[in-house]
Structure 1
Amino acid sequence: MTPPLRDVPDADPMADDSATTGAGGQTRRTLLRGAGALAVSAGFPMPAFADDAPALPTAGTPFQAGLVTDLARALAARAYVAPRTDDLPGALADLNREQYAAIRTAPGSAVWAEAGLGFTLEPLHRGSVFKDRVALALVEDGVVRPLPYDRARFETDTTQIPTLKEDMGYSGFKIRARFDGGDLADFAYFQGASFFRLIAAGQGFGVTARALTLRPADARGEEFPEFRAIWIERPGPGAPLVVHALVDSPSATAALRMSLRPGAASLCDVEGTVFARTAIDHLGLGGMTTSYLFGPYDRRGADDARAAVHSSGGLQIRTGSGEAIWRPVRNPETLQVSSFVDDNPKGFGLMQRARDYRAFQDDVQHWEWRPSLWLEPLAAWGPGSVTLLEIPSDSEFNENILAYWRPKTGLAARGELAFSYRQHWCWQPPEPVPVAVVSGTRSGRGTTEARRLILVDFTGEGLAEVEALRTQLSVSPGAITANRLYRYPERKTVRVAFELDPRGEKACELRLALLRDDTALTETWLYRWTP
């Protein structure tokens, strides 16, 4: 059964005069210089930029490789101008969640609906929390074809969409795709800040990716880069869908090329470059957010009949040295920030390992259908840290868990940073963990009120039969008592039971693995205990 769709939440920068010449003798340099304000083709709304900003390519412009990168570089050299939202009528800006969700794509109005391709596009209306305009355009036969606003693309039963004289643009777009040659089904969303979401066949939407992450949980306040313009290439038979995005924010711009391929595990290859307007000391790449309200080891304040409520259960990491790490995520009482220092990580992701209905007992949300998102760099990332933020939440609709890669070195003003990675939106990561995995974490009151009993299960072929298992368990600060192993060969599982004595501390970092001699037979279980 297909799960129901969920709606969640100065100087000339061009130094190369040998730019490729396109149709009509226009070069990329010519297009970028523009004539003062943004060039606007008939019916194509442009986002607000500085008066001396580079011109976006207009209708009929050849779309050449590197064009969006050049635009982002040139835009970073200009002053930042915040997107306009005052052009959105109150009848749309004031819509609540339910009212906005009632605005649907009219049947037959999707882009490429009659073309028989493997994809269709549905522009998304502006309104409610999605107030910002994103300039959308197709790339067909090598040239740009803008997508102007069209009221006929939408229908609604309850929400009144006002008739406007001016083109109000769109807030993003949805992609429908054919999974394994089947009927068209929901596949991806690009909407809100620089957020995008994909799913694999048979899944419901859950984790959200970010094109760029700046200063999360920073005392100066987080900065949310935004999609300003997006170009979507018309795909050939059997080819992936290629999306080009221009991202803008007060501190930086970015250009991304994303190649999307739906399947039993959907893939998104991302190539991008960040351009700094100002010095950036807190940059996040490969950002992803998810929701975690409660689970079997953390039911803080949960008066709920369901067994668990979360889109992802933990953070999985494969370090540059090959160590496999599992870090259960939590809904803490106070903001928690964890950094896992590494050099050239092999991958990381927010994973949903619980795939049985009984793990959640939720007949509406079906959390067991949510995608895991595994990210692997396609080039060396150097030193840095996988960073995890856990934010207190009282709602299952809040994406309160954030993970991203933070390079050790920041980006100087006018600096550039190129990156690439592959995302696997999947049921299971592309390569199995080479050792026994953490299959369960539970926590409860210990033998005294001050102590906590913690149970950690590891599951793997033959693990329970290994005679000389050695427990590698540590905590800092605090102390461990009553450490015991329980073997369950019929379940291929070994349980480690121990008590944590925090000794009055407000946070304790725990580390656990099972070894034979000095060889790790399991993932490394990491956990931060807080009251």
Structure 2
Amino acid sequence: MPGVISSPFANNNVGTEVTRYDDVIQKAQILSKTAYSKPESTISDFWKSMSVEEFSKIYYNPNKPLWNDGGPYQLQFFHPGGPWFHDTVDINLQENGREKDQTIQPGMFWYEGKQPAPSDMEDLHFAGFRVHHQLNSEYYDELISFLGSNYFRVLGQGQQYGLSIRGLAIDTAEPTGEEFPLFKEFWIEKPEKDSDEKNLVIMALLDSPSVTGAYRFTIQPGKDTVVDVDVSLFARKDINKLGLAPLTSMFLFGENTKGLDDYRPEVHDSDGLMVCTSADEWIWRPLARRKNVTISAFVGENTNGFGLSQRDRDFNHYGDLESRYQKRPSIWIEPKQNWGHGHVELVEIPSDLETTDNIVAYWVSDKQMKAGSSLEYSYRLTSYLESTQWPPAGKSMSTREGPANRAGFAYGHSAEARFFAVEFESDELSKLPADSPIEAVFNCQVGKIYDVKAFKNTENKLWRVQFNLEPENDQPCDLRGYLKMGDRALTETWTYLYTTKYA
């Protein structure tokens, strides 16, 4: 490829003493006592004026990653510019007890199209970075990436990027508008090549008009990649709604919603929200694409965990050889301490584009963060494809909905009545004979559920629950249900928000 190619990548500065997490906390605390300063883009107009097509002709040189010495990790970076990436971040690399600020060096990128002038390259920082690891083979695959605002994504074995994770959510879906904090500086600690310690530590400084924060990410790659996250926040001003451990995803259509004019049966990065309450009740809520912004709250004293999941792993349910939605990871969040009384909040946003995230989930405490206050918390984040522990019992695998009166048939239901079919799966359920005394316990807040039937589906060995819903005065209705045998629950609690406003 044509472009600027040369060999030395590391900056020539000798480096300074390494920054520790306590130092990042102190930086965040001091920063919180100063007025917020909106970051100004420092890149030249040459980069800012690039079209999408022009920007797409900038490539990171894959032959020259940093830390290319046979160790467990390699680093690559994202170039600033184009329509979206005008802000840059400071990236500090820590190695052998020293720390260096890393900027773009000659040879790091190939410029296939327009060529920059020397002045365009001066003190040019990155838009973000990605870490590579021998995750699936001898090849160094992407493991984790940070790009834009306070977003990051992480992968385990056999996974393909889907949903995103954020450091913090402020006033999401509020009438006043959402505030997007920014990771403005990073510190990446290189593990010793021959050390027994193979985990990667990344620290970040967060800034926004309302809050500053220090973050430490300890990454453990594997079949299920685990990230331990430590956070210290300092409020500049009162925060109306603070969302902890936020996840963002995309749901366009699935079994339970009408499809668009599209050859694929389903299109989504995640198909449900899973919550484990402090009382150890497991809740599953299928996602939906809606015409109006819809906010659902799952209230409780603390939470044992929550996450956005992609349960459907059948390629034939997507039929997409490019996007491969069946390989998109699920993310599970486990608080490491009691987060107090509050709720998991799910936001579903109207969208007709699969390139737009329209699903957000996070934890909101009942205790509002006030100006001058601080908050420390930590959690474990796991990226996985399949799990027998989340949930530990039977799980809902599909939800289907349609009119109770199907076209061409006269069943005698009202015009508003809806038919539902929900299927549950577990090893125990698959082994139970079809005549087992399994009971479906289903109810709704508004309206009436009737003709509830539970039986084993002989085609797929799942247990199916079918029922009809008679809505009341066209009102939205929360549905809940599970399977039990005797006094023992066999499955998680399936929940669903029925509304005539769905798309």
Cα gap change, 1:430/1:267 in structure 2, threshold over 3 Å: closer, same or farther?
Answer: farther
Where does 1:184-203 land on structure 2 (aligned, <5 Å)? 184-203=140-159
Cα gap change, 1:503/1:194 in structure 2, threshold over 3 Å: closer, same or farther?
Answer: same
> Residue 155 of structure 1: SS of its match in structure 2?
strand
Once the 2 structures are TM-superposed, how far is the Cα of residue 480 of structure 1 from its aligned partner?
1.6
Q: What is the one-letter code of the residue matched to 1:154?
A: F
Q: What is the one-letter code of the residue matched to 1:500?
A: L
Structure 1 residues 201-227: Cα deviation after superposition (integer angstroms, max 9, x where no partner): 222111100011111001111000001
Structure 2 gap segments, 5+ residues each: 1-10, 406-413
**8 A contact 1:43–1:148 mirrored in 2:** no
Where does 1:115-130 land on structure 2 (aligned, <5 Å)? 115-127=69-81, 128-130=83-85
Q: Does 1:525 align with 2:494?
A: yes
Q: What is the one-letter code of the residue matched to 2:457?
A: Y
- 1:453 maps to which of 415, 419, 424: 419
Q: Distance in 2 between matches of 1:180 and 1:43?
A: 34
Q: Does 1:292 align with 2:251?
A: yes
The aligned counterpart of 2:182 is 226
Sequence identity percentage: 33
Q: Distance in 1 between matches of 2:496 and 2:372?
A: 39
The aligned counterpart of 2:224 is 265
Aligned residues: 474
Q: Distance in 1 between matches of 2:491 and 2:121?
A: 63
Q: Distance in 2 between matches of 1:69 and 1:351?
A: 32
Q: Does 1:256 align with 2:215?
A: yes
Q: Does 1:100 align with 2:55?
A: yes
Q: What is the one-letter code of the residue matched to 2:326?
A: E
- 1:283 maps to which of 242, 254, 266: 242
Q: What is the one-letter code of the residue matched to 2:214?
A: A
Cα gap change, 1:202/1:434 in structure 2, threshold over 3 Å: closer, same or farther?
Answer: closer
Q: Distance in 1 between matches of 2:476 and 2:248?
A: 23
Q: Distance in 1 between matches of 2:202 and 2:48?
A: 28
**8 A contact 1:63–1:143 mirrored in 2:** no
- 1:478 maps to which of 428, 433, 447: 447
The aligned counterpart of 1:235 is 191
Structure 1 residues 212-260: Cα deviation after superposition (integer angstroms, max 9, x where no partner): 1111001111000001100000112451110000000000011001011
**8 A contact 2:170–2:241 mirrored in 1:** yes
Where does 1:320-335 land on structure 2 (aligned, <5 Å)? 320-335=278-293
> Residue 232 of structure 1: SS of its match in structure 2?
strand
Q: What is the one-letter code of the residue matched to 2:188?
A: I
Structure 1 residues 127-158: Cα deviation after superposition (integer angstroms, max 9, x where no partner): 13121110011112223211022242111333
**8 A contact 1:509–1:526 mirrored in 2:** yes
The two structures have a TM-score, normalised by structure 2, of 0.90
**8 A contact 1:281–1:409 mirrored in 2:** no
Q: Does 1:74 align with 2:30?
A: yes
Structure 1 residues 330-353: Cα deviation after superposition (integer angstroms, max 9, x where no partner): 111110001101223221111111
- 2:310 maps to which of 334, 352, 359: 352
Q: What is the one-letter code of the residue matched to 2:80?
A: R
Q: Distance in 2 between matches of 1:239 and 1:526?
A: 41
Once the 2 structures are TM-superposed, how far is the Cα of residue 482 of structure 1 from its aligned partner?
2.4
Structure 1 residues 470-505: Cα deviation after superposition (integer angstroms, max 9, x where no partner): 222111222223222232367442211112222333
The aligned counterpart of 2:336 is 378
Q: Distance in 1 between matches of 2:401 and 2:378?
A: 39
The more displaced of 359-368 and 453-462 is 453-462
**8 A contact 2:164–2:249 mirrored in 1:** yes
Once the 2 structures are TM-superposed, how far is the Cα of residue 96 of structure 1 from its aligned partner?
4.4
- 1:140 maps to which of 95, 101, 109: 95
Once the 2 structures are TM-superposed, how far is the Cα of residue 407 of structure 1 from its aligned partner?
1.2
**8 A contact 2:60–2:109 mirrored in 1:** yes
- 1:428 maps to which of 366, 375, 386: 386
Q: Does 1:303 align with 2:266?
A: no
Q: What is the one-letter code of the residue matched to 1:524?
A: T
Once the 2 structures are TM-superposed, how far is the Cα of residue 65 of structure 1 from its aligned partner?
4.1
Once the 2 structures are TM-superposed, how far is the Cα of residue 398 of structure 1 from its aligned partner?
0.7
Q: Distance in 2 between matches of 1:393 and 1:283?
A: 24
Question: What is the alpha-carbon root mean square deviation over aligned residues?
Answer: 2.0
**8 A contact 2:447–2:471 mirrored in 1:** yes
Cα gap change, 1:498/1:430 in structure 2, threshold over 3 Å: closer, same or farther?
Answer: closer
Cα gap change, 1:96/1:375 in structure 2, threshold over 3 Å: closer, same or farther?
Answer: farther
Once the 2 structures are TM-superposed, how far is the Cα of residue 161 of structure 1 from its aligned partner?
4.2
The aligned counterpart of 1:488 is 457
- 1:401 maps to which of 319, 339, 359: 359
Structure 1 residues 42-67: Cα deviation after superposition (integer angstroms, max 9, x where no partner): 999xxxxxxxxxxxxx9413423400
Q: What is the one-letter code of the residue matched to 2:348?
A: E
**8 A contact 1:462–1:492 mirrored in 2:** no
Q: Distance in 2 between matches of 1:395 and 1:245?
A: 31
> Residue 74 of structure 1: SS of its match in structure 2?
helix
Q: Distance in 1 between matches of 2:388 and 2:228?
A: 14
> Residue 68 of structure 1: SS of its match in structure 2?
helix
Once the 2 structures are TM-superposed, how far is the Cα of residue 441 of structure 1 from its aligned partner?
0.5
Cα gap change, 1:120/1:527 in structure 2, threshold over 3 Å: closer, same or farther?
Answer: same
Cα gap change, 1:176/1:182 in structure 2, threshold over 3 Å: closer, same or farther?
Answer: same
Once the 2 structures are TM-superposed, how far is the Cα of residue 294 of structure 1 from its aligned partner?
0.5
Once the 2 structures are TM-superposed, how far is the Cα of residue 430 of structure 1 from its aligned partner?
6.7
> Residue 17 of structure 2: SS of its match in structure 1?
coil
Q: Distance in 1 between matches of 2:265 and 2:136?
A: 33
Q: What is the one-letter code of the residue matched to 1:120?
A: Q
